[in-house]
Amino acid sequence: MKLTIIHPAVYVIYYLLLVILAFLYNDPYYMISFLICVSALIMLQGISREFKNVIQFFIPMSLLIIILNPLVAQVGTTRIYVLGSYFITLEALVYGILMSLSLLIILLLFASYNRAVSYQEMLYLFSKRFPHISMIIVMALRFIPLLSYRLTEVNKISRFNQENQGNQKIESRVDKIKKTAQMLAVVVSWSLEESMLTAKSMKARGYGIMKRTSYLSYKLRKIDYLFILVISATTLICTMGLANGFGRIEIYPTLHFSVHESMFNPYYFSFLILLLPLIYLEFKERLIWH
Amino acid sequence: MDYLTLGSWIVAFIVMIGVILAFFRIFEKSKPRVEHLVLIAILVAISILGSLPTAAIPGVQAASFIIIMTGIVFGRETGFITGVLTPLVLGLFLGLGYWTILQMIGWGLMGLTAGIFRVKLGENSYIRAGFGFAWGFFYGWITNISMLLFLSSVTLTSVLGVYIASAPFDLLHGVTNAVLLILFFGLFERIFKRIRDRYINSPDGEAKSLNKQ
């Protein structure tokens, strides 16, 4: 139960902007503050299982990026000799590490998005313009548990038959695969026949005669306008900063990065403000409920 | 490496989303029959049921088999829509991401091409197996774009590097497709054709009444 309800379209826009910005930034300061904020958001949303999945997916991909990038991009001036005359460049290595950081942020953002916007809310957004497509998606989501239930039923019957015949010992692997396919085929033909009955029933109840309505309904309220105002203003400032080179470091051809460079400019602060609204909302909810 | 490359990636993704939405609009405008909608929904559910148990293994995807079968039996439009919607619904289960868009394009094109070459694919089992095998690689190449995004330069060597890294999975996918298409084509073709002839193509005057509204 949420106290502050935000229109799902606003969520979608917000996460989309964050993903694009995560892709564009490559300054370590920006990236690390981004990573900290997204991690805080995920912790407040309470998703540790998804976090594990993300890490499982992330490690091989990031390794591939970090290894492959220096191998394929031999641009850059600082050479590191690995084997005799074969060299990789420091710049390419740094680029690979920063990019895999950006990949991690994007993966975490999607995990957080999947938590923040439920599929009903997404279908609500979809069903206005694409009523038939969203109907297909809803039906497919319902058919999946139904099909797996039917598969267990068919499995039970086949095992029952097998035990009654009493010849389960002489079975090779090919037979097993064939039997599985046979069972799947039974489920498929059963479900296809049943689905045509569903279609007849839907038609009899008048599907498609009236415009489709949605179970959920949202209206843009004051808080949504406030939210949009904040994120559009800060994104505008961030984009201006990016155009002037704030938030990006120069990697190719030579790495330019100094630790003492001043971070206290308006662009950085507006970037931080852009990251905060959802964290603030989640935090407020935590305070009220617990 | 500059804004030009990053910007063109973002533009490319926006164009991909736009193309998919445009196809959805065309589908909506064609006023599909209720039978058609339910059929696509059940086909999407079947292909997801085929790929959910093996979702952890990147190569093995039984969904491709169902999508190719759909394209061959029900034609290119149904094949395309089924292919596009499968990763979307799968994403609602396992989590959406930017890679979902690439999967949608890959599987959608798989269904579309299967529908285009349906006559040849239905006749000759060697062509069919070759088609499934080749699509194992094509699908891998399309989804590999999600890796290319994070490399500093898109050159021949970087593309080759990513594609060599994913080759074992693509091979597995292709071999799975080919084996399934050889062994179980007849069985599933019979089931699908029965439904098609009985409900989808039936000269049922009552069924067409929805179209006229």
CATH architecture of the domain with residue range B3-202: Orthogonal Bundle (1.10)
Give the mean pLDDT of B61-90.
91
DSSP single-letter state for residue A224: H
Q: Where is B86: in which H helix or E strand?
A: helix B76-94
Instruction: Sketch the domain layout of chain B as residue ranges.
Output: 3-202
pLDDT at A1 over 80: no
Task: State the pLDDT confidence band at A84, using cuts at 50, 70 and 90.
Answer: low
The predicted pLDDT at position B206 comes to: 45
Taking one residue from A and the other from B, the number of pairs with CB-CB distance under 8 angstroms is: 174
Check CB contact under 8 Å for A65 and B150.
yes
Instruction: Give how far the C-alpha of residue A178 lies from the chain's centroid of Cα atoms, to the nearest Å.
Output: 37
The predicted pLDDT at position B79 comes to: 93
Q: Chain B partners of A131 at a C-beta cutoff of 8 Å?
A: 28
Q: Is B163 exposed, middle or buried (0-12, 13-18, 19+ CB in 10 A)?
A: middle
Please indicate, yes or no, whether residues A100 and A15 belong to a single structural domain of this protein: yes
Structural domain containing residue A53: 8-121+218-289
The predicted pLDDT at position B213 comes to: 39
ω before B58 within 30° of 0 (cis)?
A: no
Please indicate, yes or no, whether residues A100 and A57 belong to a single structural domain of this protein: yes
pLDDT tens-digit series, residues A147-203: 989 989 998 988 888 788 766 555 677 777 777 778 888 999 999 999 989 998 998
**Would an 8 Å CB–CB cutoff place B53 in contact with chain A?**
no
The predicted pLDDT at position B32 comes to: 86
Tally of structural domains, chain A: 2
A74/B25: higher pLDDT: B25
Domain end among A204, A239, A261: A204
Please indicate, yes or no, whether residues A165 and A151 belong to a single structural domain of this protein: yes
What CA–CA distance (Å, rounded) separates A69 from A88? 9
Please indicate, yes or no, whether residues A280 and A170 belong to a single structural domain of this protein: no
The predicted pLDDT at position A133 comes to: 92
* Neighbour count for residue A45 (Cβ, 10 Å): 16
Please indicate, yes or no, whether residues A30 and A60 belong to a single structural domain of this protein: yes
Domain end among A204, A239, A271: A204
Q: How many helices (H) and strands (E) does chain B have?
A: 11, 0
The predicted pLDDT at position A10 comes to: 92
Check CB contact under 8 Å for A64 and B88.
no
Q: Determine, yes or no, domain membership for A2.
A: no
Indicate the residue of B35, B191, B207 with minimum beta-carbon distance to A189: B191
Q: Determine, yes or no, domain membership for A151.
A: yes
The predicted pLDDT at position B57 comes to: 62
Please indicate, yes or no, whether residues A77 and A59 belong to a single structural domain of this protein: yes
Give the mean pLDDT of A203-210.
85
Q: Are A194 and A143 in contact (CB under 8 A)?
A: no
Please indicate, yes or no, whether residues A61 and A152 belong to a single structural domain of this protein: no
Least confident of A276-280, B54-58, B85-89: B54-58
Please indicate, yes or no, whether residues A66 and A170 belong to a single structural domain of this protein: no
Domain end among A177, A204, A231: A204
Q: Determine, yes or no, domain membership for A96.
A: yes
Task: State the pLDDT confidence band at B23, using cuts at 50, 70 and 90.
Answer: very high
Residues 6+ apart with CB under 8 A from B14: none
The predicted pLDDT at position A117 comes to: 87
Check CB contact under 8 Å for B45 and A143.
yes
Indicate the residue of A64, A65, A144 with minimum beta-carbon distance to B48: A144
Percentage of chain A surpassing pLDDT 90?
A: 17
Q: Chain A partners of B161 at a C-beta cutoff of 8 Å?
A: 68, 71-72
Check CB contact under 8 Å for A133 and B165.
no
Q: Determine, yes or no, domain membership for A211.
A: no
pLDDT tens-digit series, residues A125-147: 888 888 899 999 999 999 999 99
- Report the residue of B10, B49, B180 to disrupt the A interface, i.e. the one with the largest count of A CBs within 10 Å: B49
Please indicate, yes or no, whether residues A13 and A98 belong to a single structural domain of this protein: yes
Q: Determine, yes or no, domain membership for A24.
A: yes
pLDDT tens-digit series, residues B138-147: 999 998 888 8
Q: Where are the alpha helices (DSSP H) in A83-130?
A: 90-116, 119-129
Please indicate, yes or no, whether residues A96 and A229 belong to a single structural domain of this protein: yes
Indicate the residue of B32, B44, B96 with minimum beta-carbon distance to A110: B96
The predicted pLDDT at position B107 comes to: 93
The predicted pLDDT at position A163 comes to: 80
Give the mean pLDDT of B146-174.
82
pLDDT tens-digit series, residues B164-213: 888 888 898 899 889 888 888 888 999 999 888 887 776 554 444 444 43
What CA–CA distance (Å, rounded) separates B182 from B213? 43
Contacts 24+ apart (CB under 8 A), A120-128: A120/A215, A120/A216, A121/A8, A121/A11, A121/A216, A121/A218, A122/A8, A122/A12, A122/B92, A123/A214, A124/A8, A124/A214, A124/A216, A124/A217, A124/A218, A125/A8, A125/A9, A125/A12, A127/A212, A127/A214, A128/A214
A122: which 2 tokens?
A: 């997404």
Indicate the residue of B41, B184, B207 with minimum beta-carbon distance to A140: B41
What CA–CA distance (Å, rounded) separates A116 from A45? 8
Q: Which residue of chain A has the CA closest to B95?
A: A114
**Would an 8 Å CB–CB cutoff place B210 in contact with chain A?**
yes
pLDDT tens-digit series, residues A223-280: 899 999 999 999 999 888 888 877 777 776 677 666 656 567 788 888 888 888 888 8
Rounded mean pLDDT of chain A?
A: 83
Q: Determine, yes or no, domain membership for A212.
A: no
The predicted pLDDT at position B20 comes to: 92
Q: Specify the length of chain B in residues.
A: 213
